[in-house]
Amino acid sequence: MSTNKKVNVLACSGMGKVYGLMAREAVLHTVNHLCPEQAKTLCLAYIVTGEEEALAGFDHQPCITVDGCPAMCSAKSVAAMGGDIQEELKVLDIMKLHKGAKPGTATELTPEGWAITEEIAAKIADRVQEIQKEGK
């Protein structure tokens, strides 16, 4: 079974830490390059406004949230708006596999930061494919 619905991939984009930027860039890489036909992103802050137009592309569609820090703002916000969360990814979980890495700052990623970000994007893309196959 498969689904034609695009999977919503939503990043926290946290402003204060490099992990927020990594979450944001991983999501953009996924939806723009890895699976543009199967996934899309939406403005998290717009969804939270609850406006009808914002929720039109969000309701009844599977979601993957990608959060930079343990506050899990994307997951919490999507859950609060009734989103169908299939996966909550945490940048920090992937950073644990790269102890001592210097990914950059909240403004700019280093080449190492970009490489880890692409690894995160690959994980997101894998989940997108699985969710599509499961027909959720």
Q: Are 66 and 128 in contact (CB under 8 A)?
A: no
Is 132 an interacting residue with respect to other proteins (CB under 8 A)? no
**Using CB under 8 A, which of 3, 5, 61, 76 touches other proteins?**
76
For other proteins, the closer of residues 57 and 135 by Cβ is 57
Distances (CA, A) of 23 to 8, 52, 132: 14, 26, 21
In the chain, % helix, strand, coil (3-state, to 5) comes to: 50, 15, 35
Is 73 an interacting residue with respect to other proteins (CB under 8 A)? yes
CB of 46 to other proteins, least distance (A): 5
Edge-to-edge, what's the strand order for the sheet holding 84-90?
39-40, 7-11, 62-67, 84-90
Is 74 an interacting residue with respect to other proteins (CB under 8 A)? yes
Instruction: Please count the residues of this chain forming the interface with other proteins, following the rule CB under 8 A.
Output: 38
Where along the sequence are the contacts to other proteins (CB under 8 A)?
Answer: 10-16, 20-21, 24-25, 27-29, 31-32, 41-46, 48-49, 51, 71-74, 76-77, 80, 105-109, 114
